[in-house]
Amino acid sequence: MTHSDDSCASCKAITESLNRLRKDIPNLKVIADSFENLFLQIAALKESIPLIQPHDSEIDVASFVQGVPILKNLEVDAPRDLFLDSANSIIPAMQKCFPGIGDALEKFLDYVRNKRLISSGFMFQDQAGSSKMLDEMAKDLGLQSDLITFIMSLVSKPFAERISESLTPLPESLIWKKGYCPICGSWPEVSFIRGHDGKRSLRCSFCGHEWGFSRLLCPFCENDDQTKLELFYSEDRSFERAELCQECKKYIVSLDTRNMASDPAPEVAALGMIYLDVLAQEKGFTPGAICTWNVIQAPRNDFS
């Protein structure tokens, strides 16, 4: 599948944001160049997928208020032919970003093309990657489970985003106070500060859903001891920050959009702060959510 700016509104916003990034921070041009196609492929695929309604659209309110994400109790399936389309466009785009895992990506694509993957619905219910199916796939392919989970999460991402769109907006009466996503249960990739009252919202690293969250808590361990929460930023770009938690040693990048001329496309907001990922990781912190861009820096794996 190829993308076309005419048919994909998100693609246009992504391209504009990356152009602005190249202009504002020339050092990030190489990163923007290598990731642009991956972001465009995900956005274009998402728009080509029909709205995906779960089999049972009744939200389990009692579980939800206890902190159980919606998809944990709902069954959804990504149509197989569309899943193959997704693999066919996302895997080559990944090969450009991660030449170090080129062989693994090739094996994965071959596996999907040969119809050995029966369903991808499990990804939405079990993003943590403990799924039996992922383990079996890893064994068949002779690859690490972590790596398979990482590849699957990207190939499934357009579907996760589409499911999330199908389920939102959530009824306002549903209160969610957790640092992980109320739709799919994944950790957030970026925190936004928005509006005249400076409300904080978190953006899910898998399905792209955004939800409100307290400014005084670490999303990952719910630590509220302010002496253990630290903001880290460069003086000339103080609207971009890494929020560090001394308690769990995790961090999240954060963007204060209140004085910005225009908001960046949410898909690429975190990529523009990769210089903060590098600094936070050098200080010994790990990203709360593994994403395509921060995985390069993450010292605890050897994907590339």
* Binding flag, residue 245, Zn ion (CB under 5 A): yes
Which of helix, strand or coil describes residue 223? coil
Q: For Zn ion, which stretch binds (CB under 5 A), given 58-66, 78-86, 218-226, 282-290?
A: 218-226
Q: Which of 87, 78, 119 is nearest to 106 (CA)?
A: 87
Determine the interface stretch with Zn ion among 52-60, 141-149, 214-222, 277-285 (rule: CB under 5 A): 214-222
Q: Is 34 helix (H, G, I), strand (E, B) or coil?
A: helix
Q: How near is the Cβ of 22 to Zn ion at its closest, in Å?
A: 29
Q: Which range touches Zn ion (CB under 5 A), out of 60-68, 115-123, 200-208, 281-289?
A: 200-208
Q: How many residues bind Zn ion (CB under 5 A)?
A: 15
How far apart are alpha carbons 218 and 223 in whole angstroms?
5
Tell the smallest beta-carbon distance from residue 208 to Zn ion (Å): 7
The residue among 301, 223, 234 whose CA lies nearest residue 27 is 234
Q: Is 289 in the site for Zn ion (CB under 5 A)?
A: no
Q: Is 144 exposed, middle or buried (0-12, 13-18, 19+ CB in 10 A)?
A: middle
CA 242 vs. chain centroid, Å, equals: 17
Helix (H) or strand (E) segment spanning residue 192:
strand 188-194
Decide whether 193 or 248 has the Cβ nearer to Zn ion: 248
- Separation CA 80–CA 197 (nearest Å): 44
Kindly state the greatest CA–CA separation across the chain. Answer: 54
Of 162 and 209, which has the nearer Cβ to Zn ion? Answer: 209
Binding characters for Zn ion, 146-185, by CB under 5 A (x = yes):
-----------------------------------x-xx-
Among 14, 31, 45, 207, binds Zn ion (CB under 5 A): 207
Dihedral, CA of residue 198, residue 291, residue 280 and residue 226, to nearest 10? 40
Per-residue binder mask for Zn ion (CB under 5 A), 52-71, x = binder:
--------------------
218 binds Zn ion (CB under 5 A): yes
DSSP string, 225-247: -GGGEEEE--GGGTTEEEEEETT
The reply on whether position 204 binds Zn ion by CB under 5 A is: yes
Shortest Cβ distance from residue 155 to Zn ion (Å)? 16
Among 59, 248, 279, 298, binds Zn ion (CB under 5 A): 248
Q: How far is the CB of 245 from Zn ion (least distance, A)?
A: 3
Q: Which residues bind Zn ion (CB under 5 A)?
A: 181, 183-184, 186, 204, 206-207, 209, 218, 220-221, 223, 245, 247-248
